[in-house]
Structure 1
Amino acid sequence: MAKPILHLNTRLQKGIISFSSFQSQSQSQPRIYCIHLYSSSYNKTQFFSQQHSVYGFEFLYSFDKDGNFDCNYALSCFDRLLYAKPIPHITVFTSILKPFFQMKDYSTVILQCKKLDLLPVFPDSDLLNMIIQCYCQLGYVHLGLSLVGKLMKLGLQPDVVSCTNLIHGLCENNANVDAAVALFRKAVNQGWHMSLSTYGTLINSLCKLGQVDYAVSLLRMMRFTGVQSSVMNYNAAIDGLCKQRLMSRAEELFSEMIRNGVTPNVITYTTLMWGHCNLGQWDDVWRLFEEIFDSGIKPDVFTFSVLLHGLIREGKVRAVECVIDLMAGYGYAPDVACYNSLIDGFCKEGLMDKAQGIFEIMKAKGIAASFVTYNILINGYSKLRRMDIVVSLLNEMSQKGLSPNTVTYCTLVNLLCKEGKIQEAEEIIKLMIDKKLDLDTVTYTTLIHGYCRMGWMDKAWEMFEIMISKGLAASTVTYSILINGYCKLNRMDVVKHLLKEMSQKGPTPDSTTYNTVVNMLCKAGKTKEAETIVKLMLDDNLELDTVTYTSLINGYCKIGLMNRAQEMFQTMIAKGLSANAATYNILVNGYCKLRRMDVVLALLKEMWRKGLAPDIVTYNTVVNVLCKEGKIKEAENMMELMINKNVDPNTVTYTTLMNGYCRIGRMDKAQETFETMIAKGCAPDVVTFNCLIRGYFKLRRMSEVMANLKAMFQNDLAPNEATFSLLYRICMHRQTDGFVLI
């Protein structure tokens, strides 16, 4: 190690100045000069030149012949100074590292600083703040934040730059906005003036997290701290309010923005238009659109995009055409991609006639449709199963020299499979192979799904093996489709094999896959096997969701284990999961089977309180139990209540109530209910007529028995076993010997 060739100590009245000069081992390298001032009270700016004085230390940096800073030489000097006697003041090391910091070589700064931990010197606020900023710039905000505590222990404070860097780092990707807010408050309490950029970062992050109220309060705080709010800050807050559909407050902030002298830009107007579009407030949308022109602001492509997508949702093709013409006037001539987006928007809304309208406008303006355009339309019509139009579009593509691609054929295969036309789908697959188009996982999965729909699991498995042999990896969707198919056939051996294969080879089964199996098992009342699958699910670190718990509750209810079902329900609530209407309906049906009407009514009240609607099956079950218990008045009240809740009674509801009346011999009420059912457009079924026949037979009112039998046959309703049983009893009755039905 090189030794100082010159070392001078000069004692002053208020401290010591130490001057050292080091010569490098290579004579071609210049010397490094270090001056140490061991005095905090010395007037440094008078002693050293204003240009180079840095906290009592002057470092004459090394430059090469081209005038560039010599990093290697500076680092070499830093390492040698670690062994210098006496140990240089910490400011010496800080000053050597500052050029690296300014050159954004943050890793080097951190690496060199770690070497200082071996020296009996304490870092000062300058060095620690520099390290904090380095960590923040490198994305290690948590390490930078940990150094704040070290600063505090040394009786030092982070400076405004460090706080700003930490706040920006904590807000990036919404890493820890709460910590950023806490640090911001601390900085403000210290009396530091935060920059416009820091306010902007916090406001933007808070709005993204939905904490718009605090973001707006920060925006207003800026005025009192002397920081002029920018249009970007207001835009972020207005955007946050629009996303929460708080349009009145967004408009208030917009007015406040103008009063405070901040001029809105095209983003401001576009954001407000977007918010009003979402609420269908078209008067406000057009008002803002006019204000854009009145303000002399040129609308951009996003402004027009907001208008177009809003009009698409409303299905206003004519207005869309006008906006397209207006776009062209501003130099934003819509191209094929723009039209594709519009057509796709209508297709997603299921408005195929509107999509076709835009397609016709596109052709009228001389814009050639691409294969993407046709794919979008084919996909849209496929969802409606309009095979005739799909074939027409395919022919049109061929006439225009556009060859259908894999996406086109896959859409067609999907449509054919949904319609049960598996052979035609297979022909399309063969055509794809002939055209040397690559069949991907999606194509094979679509055909596998078609086979599973038809219950052809052997064909589905064969196609699955062909896909694997082609080197294609089965997706979670592929496995889920197969598992669902085998569950329907109760082939749990294959299901378990597939789950095991997924766990070992991938892809890992997701909640949807497991829930499919659990649901199927529970529907079959096989709760023990379902519990085994749930254990596998937990082993794969998957959380049980509402669907899982609801399936298990359904399984326990089916086999009458209501205590176990209730335990599972309470566990679900304790986990913070919300029970849905399906969960409650299952529990209500389960307790109805046990005729626990006290619990049933309590569950129904809980559903109504939570805004959940019992379904028609649940209401019918409750009405049935009440009728069986002879509580006809309560059954009538329940039926009236379901009508008030906008649930229309169906044939089962009316028949159930009629059966209740028949049980107690109130055939007048049963007949009245029957007539009401007919008036409401509900067609009676064989069970309805059986109910009336049984009721009238009990009272030996044979003319009504005959009338209902005749009506049943006139309605083309085939007698079932219950009907034949009734007929046998009628024929065997001694008063009806020789009774002839034909």
Structure 2
Amino acid sequence: MLTITPKYINKTKSFLLPLLIFNSYYSNPSSSAKILINPSLVGTHLPNPSSDSKEIAASFKDWFRTSKNPNFDRIFKILSIRGDEVLAISAKEDSDWGLGKLDIKLSESFVLEVLNYKKDDILSCLKFFDWCGRQPYFNHTLATCVALFKILSRAKLQSLMLDLLDSFKKQRKLHTIRFNDMLVVGYALAGKVYIALQVYGKMRFHGLDLDSASYHILLNSLVEEGCFDEMNVVLDQIRRRGYEDKFTHSIVIKSLCKQCQLDEAEEYLRGLLSRVKVLPHHAIGILVEAFCKSGRFSCGAKLIQEFGEMEGVPVQEAYGIWIKCLALAGKTDTALKFLNDKKSVEGYIPDAIRYNILIFRLLKKNQLKEVSDLLLDMKENRIVPDKVTMNAVLCFFCKAGMMDVALELYELRTEFGFTPHSLMFNYVINTLCSEDNIDEAFQMLKNLMQQGYIPGKRTFSILADALCRQGRLDEMKDLFMFALERKLIPSDSAYEKFIRSLCRAKRVQDGYLLHGEFNRLNKTPSKSTYSYLIYGFNHARRGDLAARLLIEMQEKGHTPSDKLFKYVLRCVCQMDNPERLFLHLLEIQCSRKGYDQRTFNYFIYGAGAASRPDLGRGVYDMMLKSGIVPNVNSEILMLRCYLRSGKIADALNFFEDVKKRKMVGRKIYTTMVIGLCKSRKADSALAMLKQARENGLVPSLFCYETLIKLCCSETKYDEAVQLIKEMEKIGRKVSSFVGNLLMLHSLYDHNLYKAWLRSSDQSNEKLSHAMLGQVIATFSGHVNTDAKAEDLEELVQNCFPLDLYSYNMMLRKLSINNMDEACRLFKRMCRKGYQPNRWSYDTIVHGFYMHGRKAEAQLWADEMLWQGYAPTECTRDI
């Protein structure tokens, strides 16, 4: 049971005022009539929308009750009793006893009315039909049998119809009610037109014949099934017997339309104007609908206008068809204009079906004002609402923000015999979620699913998003498990969001449990879902489950990315005693992809990332035993495997082994130099670089940068200067990275300048090298202590490309002696498009404080904070 929370009160929209006026009009016609007649009184007499939700709900309750027939309701209530509700007697006996007590006077018309009252309650209609047939004073007629067959046909229960027809053949007393006619009609409505024709042929052989109604049902079924040759034969029989009437003409036009002979159908319809006294009203609508389905709306509009202007031509049904076609095509504004014009000029009122179609299309486009007007029209014209109308009303109140009214009407659904459909539930749950009333939405969806309701995937996704957004993963898990138990598969996006949320919350085990349930339904999770789970288990250090999911992912036809594959291997290698699983995974991949270098390289990489060179060397040796020649990538990965693990001696030995087998290229030397630098083995790295140069190789710029950085950090400035000279000698220009390193170390250590002086040879020195020396001298404080911002910027720019780090270093230099020049450089930097960072602002603030200019320092500190940066600890201390 849902409760109406206070947050839904006062949600009534202003466009609902006509409904309030209407409600007052029917409760007190005399007073409300004055409101409608005198516009000047509207402002003072209109009900308050915020306080009349209950009045609106009561008005719609009264309207819904007009669809009820108490006598028929009692019949269907008795028929709906199940056997488990009555212990003493069976359900059939209980129904017989209950219906017998009602003292029903059976007649053909009464049975037809009862069957038409609740056509969607198939089981109850069958029970009633069976009960009537067993009463001694009543025999079913052809009309009652046809009515039941139409109910079953509409519900697409053809197999049940055939079973009934077989059972009818065994009941001799039915042969007294034109039994052959009933068989022909039954098989025709069941879609078994050839069986119907066989029965018809036997009838004609024995001198029997169908009546007019049966002929037309058979003729229409032949058209529906596309049997146009047989249809022409039956049509000829109808004309010979003089049965041709308005129904015949309508079916002929339908036949032409189904054969896409629309122009011939229109010609046939116009020919009827001079041949028959009354034009069949079905015929115009059939042709209009055919024109619309083929996209020829202009032809449909022409027919509607032309026949609508003729006197005595029944066009009411054609109007309804035209409104339906316009609405279904999304032309709701045109449909509304047409309806209003015909209503005002001709007094045309559509039936409930046409209203329903138009209302739902308007709801889809959020044209709530127009929906309100149509509902008011239906109530004013006393149109009896059906279940579709009731669903539309509840959807409308949900979209209008009046959940209190919608829920109140929903709670009374059994009173009206109202069966909500999925769209209504979707609207209710979506509205509850949008109002952040997740508890009620969750409970409502759970209750509905217990009753067999299957929510739309969009509704499920909206609720899933809301629960995940609020971190309510336990409820989300219950909802998913509840849905999966009922074979309801959420959308891939909802499933992925939940898995992702569980993994982020470090509840990957719950995600894996849900994944297992999903797999049991023979559904294939998406590649993203597998990735989330694998990354989750990697973070949880569960390489065994990550590997299992990787294998399953491949079995499901997904190809894992290189990053994901390496991630799993790294996690496996970080486990305790991973050897068995590692080799098992390698065997599986080799059996799947074959023995190729790429697969082996993946595993060497994984071993290296986990600092397990022993596993990596095992894979490398296996590659050699398999007859696969390792490529450069394999050797580089093996070297990294040793170097990352700190196994420098093993790396050097492996390097020497490779040298014995082949000529070593620049990539391998670069790997060795970079790896030795990361292990802070400067001497070994310098020796390796020297060896590469002696072998005629040109090391990469990155190789030089890394080695220069290590030498500077270990104050080996002579070696760093030599590397810079060597780099320039082979044509490598000084990069921003190297230049920034030199400025940084020159600023804090004068030994770099001394090393530069020791290595300088002014006679053979290049201009670029000399200018770089000036930069080192300037930052070391040996020259130009009062440098201008423009001069310093130009000097540095002539040596290497500037970046933000370069400007920060220049700011630091200028702030030592001249804060005004530092501020000028800051402005120049901004004008050139560089975005100052924390270090830029901190340098200025620190400099002003060091120079005692506290007011200016405070202004810059405020600006720094406004930009989202906090001063460094050093600056905060002063």
What is the TM-score when the length of structure 1 is the normalising length? 0.46
| Structure with higher RCO (Cα < 8 A, 6+ apart) | 2
Structure holding more helix per residue = 2
Structure with greater Cα Rg: 2
